[in-house]
Chains A and B, each alone.
Chain A
Amino acid sequence: MEKIYSLKYGLLLLFVCLSNWVFAQSGTITGKVVDENNLPLPAATVVVKGKSISTSTDANGFYKLSNVPAGAQTVVISFIGYKNQENPVNVSGAVSLNGQLEPSTLALNEVAVIGYGTVRKSDATGAISVVTAKDFNRGAVNTIQDAIVGKLPGVVITSTSGAPGNTSTIRIRGGASLNASNDPLIVIDNVPIDNTALGGSANILNTINPNDVENITVLKDASATAIYGARASNGVLLITTKRGSKELKLNYNVTTSLSVLPKQVDVYTGDEFRDVVNKVYAGNTAVTNLLGTASTDWQKEIYQKAFGQDHNLSVSGTAKNLPYRVALGYNNSDGILKTYNFQRTTLAIGLDPSLLNNHLNIHVNVKGLYNLNNFAEQSAVGNAINYDPTKPVYNGNTRWRGYTTWTDKGNTNINGDPVTLAPANPVAQLDLTDNKSTVRRSIGNAQFDYKMHFLPELRANLNLAYDYAKVFGHNNARDSTQWVYIPVVAGGRLSNYEESRKNQLVDFYFNYVKDLKAVDSRLDATAGYSWSHFYREGHGTSSDIKMTAPQPPNDYITEYYLISFFGRLNYTFKDKYQLTFTVRDDATSRFAKDKRWGLFPAGAFTWRIKDEDFLKNSNTVSDLKLRVSYGVTGQQDLNNGNNYPYLAKFTVSDQTSRYQLGDTFYNTLRPDGYDANIKWETTTTTNIGLDYGFLNNRLTGTIDYYFRKTKDLLSIVNAAAGTNFAATVLTNVGNMENRGLELGLNAVVISKKDFSWNLSYNISYNKNKITRLSLNANDNTIIQVGGISGTFNTIQAQKVGSPLNSFYVYQQIYDSNGKPIEDAYVDRNNDNVINSSDLYIYKKPDPTVQMGINSRLAYKDWDFAFSGRLSLGNYNYNNVASGSTYRGLYSSLGYIANQTKAAEETQFTTALKTNMSDFYIQKASYFRMDNVNLGYNVPKFNKLKLRVSAGVQNVFVITKYKGLDPEISGGLDNNFFPRARIYQLGLNCTF
């Protein structure tokens, strides 16, 4: 890495030298160029007419013309798609001239960030979606995912738990991969970040405070993503943070929240439980004697009303010529699970100096995160369902710290030996567990964009970035606790861990933009190089409290490199026809020398139909653009920490996997499984889209159809017996397809002076199918996945012809009343035996159709917004219900356990594999009202702008699903941390 640092400092020096460039004495003209919406226009050309003096505006629309001869001059400001503007000006010393350009045709002129550059949205050739800060879900202050959920067609965001600050899975157009990561690439201010979860810190996007985000752009088709080549198969999320403003602006935002549990799991009460145990085990005193006399609502004992607060303070402005923004954020939220807490302090600094007459634009970003988590003992959620409701929380024992605990003498000796496999007292678990982590992370970059003096059309851009993180934490439990029995029964646990991450990035590219007026064309070419390094090391220890039996440490060091060359050529003819070619040549250190390079090309064509003569003057059709693209992207993100899958290597065992030969214990040495020929997974995507606007763009939107095919899937599959050193090996096997349709619609329903109503709606349809799973194209290959609780079984499978992670179950037989008959399944292969060959593929966890609806109503100083989502065609395996049977009431290990009321529905008493029945695959379509928010803008008081708001998150859910919450990431519903309903009050001041 030394070379990177020295390079960084060398370049800094270089730029310092350049800034000392001596200018001739004459007048200067400075100013800002904005578009028709008063938004800054970057890269607009500013020329002194008749002189060879020119410049371009920077990212914020500012420009500076130096050495302008004194006297009357004419300044011409131009930008593609806009009418030229000529401004007479009398130059004497420093003068100021601002410009506002009018579009030459009515078009969407938002600037969209694309990889390695920006483009006006109207010029974008790929399928991209943008959400700007003003459209974020109001009141969603904890995570970026909350802010954009439901906003984007084709983007499915599912929070994996209800814990504050917790992570979400993001899927763009369904998953393209099988065992490799299906997460999109996340790029923050031009820095692609490592998407593997940071130990202890649940959410990689937590580094960024949603309040600091200006916009989020999603790149969906290959034309847009191919510039990120091997990391782009699952789409790209580009996050751009807010920048410094021209005028000093101070903003303070505070939100307080109250979280409540919306709904409890329906379990037997103490009395009901006594009844059902006495009924099912009538006469069996060994069981009925275990019943107690209390009535404890264990869920009530572990959940609480939780408060949260979020503060953000930002200052932005321009100091001399240095635009800056500094923001400080602090969030402190309790979870509804007692003891859970999330604290996040963020600092974001953005500096955008322009030097050398705006020829050198520098963007410096430093982001810091200091995050404290108290994760609590989350298995208490499940134990609160299963713990015997006839027992009190405390029973006066002396051995188990007073908490009621299952002991092997049943009720007769409350101080007896523990039944280690019995449910743990959930209150004790929360009280006696200390599970905290601290995360420190910083992402920073310095981007130097230099426009050649001798050739202003040519820019060189250098981006140096780092992403360093350190996590340390512990997950301790007191001794005299029944649920901790490894390594010492009731010996408690001292478990410490730490991890450091050091990722670095260097990007360098040239960009050449030329208007070829003679042939009515414009050329925009980019060529560059990228180097990145990902390094992780960690250390973990664990032992009982007294440290009598320390476990072997868990140490690791791993790293990989990515090196790429990339290029893009945009050609525009007559402002109507555009062609884009993109290519990226990527190499990863994860593959062998002759396999590591992957070439990922893409091409796109757009036709601005609106600009054709026959539509030019149409008032009805205000915008119409056709986009067609085709391209290839790759995947090498193995998602399993294995950075050397091609390498033949040996691993030495730890101290607990030794073997005794003679009098000595040897640390064993194992040859590891590997695939010397492992290579890139590649995805080809075809996309056809239409951008449209009607009635002076009162109604705008997009329609996209895509077909995406992944081949050489990085899959963990069985190796033919005897051919490898592991039973399963990561290799390139299988193909998969996703096809879908997306529609986005934005309507300005009402647009009056005091009254406006914006409505947006999106719908996306995705169909996923595995088309091949084995090298010899055998369609019967089954890869079982999706381990479920309580058994060694799996409930899902990958199979050719079926969607990813389909459920793989027995077909239940029902009686005439529609009640499932215990242990009766359809003999699907007609061999008169019900065995694992009768399992079949039934339904899938991913939604077929997702819709999002967003509304914003403004009347005078009041505004009201809501956003909601509809998900159709998704199914869950209700593991909470399948684990609830009469049989589960009593365990021969000597305890009784509460069940959900699902047990009453089936009344299964003894049968063996009822949990594998398709009865528990339940339809989980739902509509969720994510946000409702009411705001009032207090009339201006001097320069002070004040806004107060009140809102509710997770307002209500409409579903027929029988479990607690239908929205389950991955479709396996097994006692997850429930999502809270959050009431919020917010205050925002700006001046």
Chain B
Amino acid sequence: MKLNRSLIAVILISGVLGTSCLKDLDVKPKDPKITTSATVFDKPEAYKQFLAKLYSTLSLTGQKGEAGAPEISAPDEGTTAFIRGWWNAQEVTTDECINAWGDGGLVEYHGHIWSDNNDYIKLMYQRLFINISYCNEMIRAVNDNVGGLSGAQKTEIDAYQAEARFLRAYYYFCAMDLYGNVPFVTEADKPGAFLPKQIKRADLFKYVESELKAVADLLPQPGANEYARADRAAAWTLLSRIYLNAQVYTGTAMYGDCIKYANEVIGAGKYSLHGKYPELFLADNDKIKDEIIMPIASSGASSRSYGDVTFIIHAGVGGSEDAANTFGIASGGWGGNRLTTAFVNTQFADPSGNTDKRAIFHTAGQTLTITHPTVFTEGYLSAKWKNITSTGAQGGNSTFVETDFPLFRLAEVYLNYAEATVRGGAGGDAGKALQYVNALRTRAYEGASGNINSGQLNLDFLLQERGREFYWEFQRRTDLIRFGKFTGGSLLWDFKGNVMAGVSTDAHFNIFPIPASDMLLNNNLTQNPGY
């Protein structure tokens, strides 16, 4: 019965195959780049790499350079970056920037005609909440594992947790500023199929405030942390900013608190204005420790993104500008962003740069007046951001720039102090306020010729001064809203309201809508008024 035996053998073999191979279904990734969550923190260095991810999401878009492994999908991965999203929302919607690409989303931004379907509104919203989710995961990972670590290691990763909380507070600040009432998730909410609850803008303000105050005591002393990591001064600066805008966020002014935290930064004694304003925006600005409290780090070789300062520089270069030699981007500009006529005229009586050195404009071949938004040679160009060092050398890469983004710098603390004081904040000293403003003016004019007297220090002046000091540094929309000039008709600029001369726009544009995509998913959300 040889045959029957072989038949039985066949059946047995197939039976064995059938059962033993079921284990194949539990296959784990073989790719060395991938680790399962269950084992990733077995190696302590993973915490630092994860911390680096939390910071890198300020400028980068994924795990494969400029494109290829994004966390947010978009036809152009560069549009998913935090800097680009925050910059477009804060600049293109204002008098500081008009774009030439004919990109529908940006046209809606500049004209104040956006809807809840605008892609840029969605991408920025997604970016903020992805970044918040990463911070939550870091906070959880530390909570889950910190017990098993030794003393020095424990201290170090506890510090990472404080930084994760700081970054989360910063992203929630952006969400509060842009969208007002947003979904709210903390480390208590594990990823999965749940629908977050919505938090009111004023409640979110309290949360951001309390988190910042809490971490301000946990973070390293001013200047004591590593390059590009947050310290107490970063938390204090952000506190002074949210208090300056508390009236907008909560309906209650808190100028005294703004002054208090501005004083903390100034009083730390670590910071002073950098000697030359233009150097703050050059390829070697990572060396500037006197004024920059916290930068977003850039590296042409190692941190590549089409949505960080690379975007700010390329998008603003074109026309007769020399991309390679003046801007250090031999691969060329993208001919998109320039200043509105109204901005130049209002802010700079002398746009030549001969008096106020902050007027870093390129005017050759450009008309001041903009009649066609899509014609790049209409409107002055900003040549403030460059991938050239203070000694004139080009950055290391002809596309991806070395220029850091100064996320917090002392000049803002000075102007916050001055404005809170003018607005009657408790503890403000008018003399100091004038002194701080004139310190900026002196630097800008390279002497006292531009200094003002106490009579000139009023709110209108301060708004303009912030424009001169911070244009293209994503402050403008927040500033205009605080001054009541973002919507409405009290300040007009070319193509505000999608009309060349500019028209009044509706107040509901002071807050962006919750993107339609998330409204459709999350039944807990109520749309902002007017959308």
Point out residues on A near B: beta carbons under 8 Å.
3, 7, 10-11, 14, 17-18, 21, 286, 408, 417-421, 450, 452-454, 460, 462, 485-489, 506, 508, 529, 531, 533, 549, 551-552, 554-561, 563, 565, 587-589, 593, 596, 643-644, 647-663, 665-671, 673-677, 716, 718-728, 774-776, 778, 780-782, 787, 791-794, 833-837, 839, 887, 891-894, 910-913, 916
Alpha-carbon distance between A551 and B300 when the two chains are bound, in angstroms: 12
CB-contacts of B43-86 with A (<8 A): 46, 48-53, 55-56, 59-60, 62-66, 68-69, 71-76, 79-80
Which chain B residues border A656 with CB–CB below 8 Å? Answer: 64-66, 301-304
CB<8 Å pairs between A and B, sample of 30: A420-B331, A452-B7, A453-B3, A460-B7, A485-B399, A486-B331, A488-B398, A555-B33, A557-B31, A588-B25, A589-B24, A644-B29, A649-B29, A649-B37, A653-B69, A654-B65, A659-B60, A661-B226, A669-B40, A720-B194, A721-B182, A723-B192, A728-B72, A774-B521, A776-B523, A782-B517, A833-B115, A835-B114, A835-B115, A912-B103
B389 at the interface (CB under 8 A from A): no
Tell me if A724 and B191 are in contact (CB < 8 A).
Answer: yes
CB-contacts of B1-57 with A (<8 A): 2-4, 6-7, 9-10, 13-14, 17-18, 20-22, 24-31, 33-38, 40, 46, 48-53, 55-56
A533, A724, A836: residue with the most chain B Cβ atoms closer than 10 Å:
A836
B334 at the interface (CB under 8 A from A): yes
Which chain A residues border B231 with CB–CB below 8 Å? Answer: none
Tell me if B60 and A657 are in contact (CB < 8 A).
Answer: yes
Tell me if B52 and A647 are in contact (CB < 8 A).
Answer: no
- B118-126, B239-247, B485-493 - interface stretch: B118-126
- Which label, helix, strand, loop or mixed, suits the secondary structure of the A interface? loop
CB nearest to A832 among chain B residues:
B113
Alpha-carbon distance between A418 and B375 when the two chains are bound, in angstroms: 21
Which chain B residues border A722 with CB–CB below 8 Å? Answer: 129, 132-133, 183-185, 189, 196
What per-residue 1/0 map shows which CB atoms of B172-194 lie under 8 Å from chain A? 00000000001111000101111
Which chain A residues border B373 with CB–CB below 8 Å? Answer: 912
B51, B100, B103, B193: residue with the most chain A Cβ atoms closer than 10 Å:
B193
CB nearest to B107 among chain A residues:
A912
B297 at the interface (CB under 8 A from A): yes
B108 at the interface (CB under 8 A from A): yes
Alpha-carbon distance between A648 and B127 when the two chains are bound, in angstroms: 20
B425 at the interface (CB under 8 A from A): no
* A720-B518 contact given A727-B130, A835-B108, CB 8 Å threshold: yes
**5 additional contacts, CB 8 Å, given A658-B52, A661-B297, A727-B129?**
A454-B3, A549-B397, A656-B304, A721-B125, A725-B71
Which chain B residues border A588 with CB–CB below 8 Å? Answer: 25
Tell me if B48 and A661 are in contact (CB < 8 A).
Answer: yes
* A721-B129 contact given A673-B71, A912-B374, CB 8 Å threshold: yes
Which chain B residues border A508 with CB–CB below 8 Å? Answer: 10, 14, 17
The minimal Cβ–Cβ distance linking A484 to chain B, given in whole angstroms, is: 10
B365 at the interface (CB under 8 A from A): yes
Tell me if B69 and A651 are in contact (CB < 8 A).
Answer: yes
Query: B25, B37, B105: which contacts A648 (Cβ < 8 A)?
Result: B37
Which chain A residues border B399 with CB–CB below 8 Å? Answer: 485-487, 489
* A834-B113 contact given A644-B29, A660-B228, A668-B52, CB 8 Å threshold: yes
Alpha-carbon distance between A792 and B487 when the two chains are bound, in angstroms: 27
CB nearest to A728 among chain B residues:
B73
Interface residues on B, range: 35 or more
Which chain B residues border A17 with CB–CB below 8 Å? Answer: 2, 6
What per-residue 1/0 map shows which CB atoms of B225-242 lie under 8 Å from chain A? 011110000000000000
B408 at the interface (CB under 8 A from A): no
* A658-B108 contact given A17-B2, A912-B374, CB 8 Å threshold: no
* A556-B229 contact given A408-B323, A724-B191, CB 8 Å threshold: no
Alpha-carbon distance between A719 and B133 when the two chains are bound, in angstroms: 12
Query: A14, A657, A669, A673: which contacts B9 (Cβ < 8 A)?
Result: A14
B319 at the interface (CB under 8 A from A): yes
Alpha-carbon distance between A719 and B18 when the two chains are bound, in angstroms: 38
* A892-B100 contact given A489-B398, A649-B36, CB 8 Å threshold: yes
Tell me if B34 and A649 are in contact (CB < 8 A).
Answer: yes
* A893-B318 contact given A486-B331, A722-B132, CB 8 Å threshold: yes
The minimal Cβ–Cβ distance linking B41 to chain A, given in whole angstroms, is: 9
B419 at the interface (CB under 8 A from A): no
Alpha-carbon distance between A417 and B74 when the two chains are bound, in angstroms: 31
Tell me if A286 and B365 are in contact (CB < 8 A).
Answer: yes
Tell me if A835 and B118 are in contact (CB < 8 A).
Answer: yes
Which chain B residues border A643 with CB–CB below 8 Å? Answer: 29
Alpha-carbon distance between A527 and B80 when the two chains are bound, in angstroms: 52
Tell me if A893 and B72 are in contact (CB < 8 A).
Answer: no
Tell me if A660 and B297 are in contact (CB < 8 A).
Answer: yes
Query: B72, B114, B229: which contacts A661 (Cβ < 8 A)?
Result: B229
Which chain B residues border A560 with CB–CB below 8 Å? Answer: 27
* A792-B376 contact given A286-B365, A563-B22, A668-B49, CB 8 Å threshold: no
Which chain B residues border A3 with CB–CB below 8 Å? Answer: 17, 20
Alpha-carbon distance between A242 and B336 when the two chains are bound, in angstroms: 61
CB nearest to A778 among chain B residues:
B520
Which chain A residues border B398 with CB–CB below 8 Å? Answer: 485, 488-489
Tell me if B36 and A892 are in contact (CB < 8 A).
Answer: no
Which chain B residues border A721 with CB–CB below 8 Å? Answer: 125-126, 129, 182-183, 196, 518, 522
Alpha-carbon distance between A892 and B320 when the two chains are bound, in angstroms: 9
Tell me if A792 and B105 are in contact (CB < 8 A).
Answer: yes
Alpha-carbon distance between A454 and B126 when the two chains are bound, in angstroms: 68
The minimal Cβ–Cβ distance linking B333 to chain A, given in whole angstroms, is: 7
Tell me if A657 and B64 are in contact (CB < 8 A).
Answer: yes
* A650-B130 contact given A661-B227, A720-B183, A721-B196, CB 8 Å threshold: no
Enumerate the 3 nearest inter-chain pairs by beta-carbon distance, A residue then B residue, closest first: A892-B376, A662-B226, A656-B65
The minimal Cβ–Cβ distance linking B213 to chain A, given in whole angstroms, is: 23
The minimal Cβ–Cβ distance linking B292 to chain A, given in whole angstroms, is: 14
CB nearest to B229 among chain A residues:
A661
What per-residue 1/0 map shows which CB atoms of B383-399 lie under 8 Å from chain A? 00000000000000111
CB nearest to B79 among chain A residues:
A792
The minimal Cβ–Cβ distance linking B415 to chain A, given in whole angstroms, is: 28
Which chain B residues border A286 with CB–CB below 8 Å? Answer: 365, 377
CB nearest to B372 among chain A residues:
A910
Which chain A residues border B333 with CB–CB below 8 Å? Answer: 893
The minimal Cβ–Cβ distance linking B58 to chain A, given in whole angstroms, is: 9
Tell me if B522 and A7 are in contact (CB < 8 A).
Answer: no
Which chain B residues border A718 with CB–CB below 8 Å? Answer: 126, 517-518, 521
Tell me if B304 and A650 are in contact (CB < 8 A).
Answer: no
Query: A593, A781, A836: which contacts B104 (Cβ < 8 A)?
Result: A836
A421, A722, A839: residue with the most chain B Cβ atoms closer than 10 Å:
A722
B195 at the interface (CB under 8 A from A): yes
CB nearest to A654 among chain B residues:
B64
B95 at the interface (CB under 8 A from A): no
Alpha-carbon distance between A506 and B372 when the two chains are bound, in angstroms: 67
Alpha-carbon distance between A718 and B52 when the two chains are bound, in angstroms: 26
Which chain B residues border A7 with CB–CB below 8 Å? Answer: 13, 17
Tell me if A506 and B17 are in contact (CB < 8 A).
Answer: yes
The minimal Cβ–Cβ distance linking B269 to chain A, given in whole angstroms, is: 23
Which chain A residues border B375 with CB–CB below 8 Å? Answer: 892, 910
CB nearest to B190 among chain A residues:
A723
Which chain A residues border B303 with CB–CB below 8 Å? Answer: 656-660, 665
Tell me if B73 and A557 are in contact (CB < 8 A).
Answer: no
Which chain B residues border A659 with CB–CB below 8 Å? Answer: 52-53, 55-56, 59-60, 228, 297, 302-303
Tell me if A652 and B33 are in contact (CB < 8 A).
Answer: yes
B137 at the interface (CB under 8 A from A): yes
B454 at the interface (CB under 8 A from A): no
Query: A554, A561, A663: which contacts B25 (Cβ < 8 A)?
Result: A561
Tell me if A657 and B103 are in contact (CB < 8 A).
Answer: no
Query: B49, B71, B125, B127: which contacts A652 (Cβ < 8 A)?
Result: B49
Query: B37, B119, B374: which contacts A910 (Cβ < 8 A)?
Result: B374
Which chain A residues border B319 with CB–CB below 8 Å? Answer: 892, 894
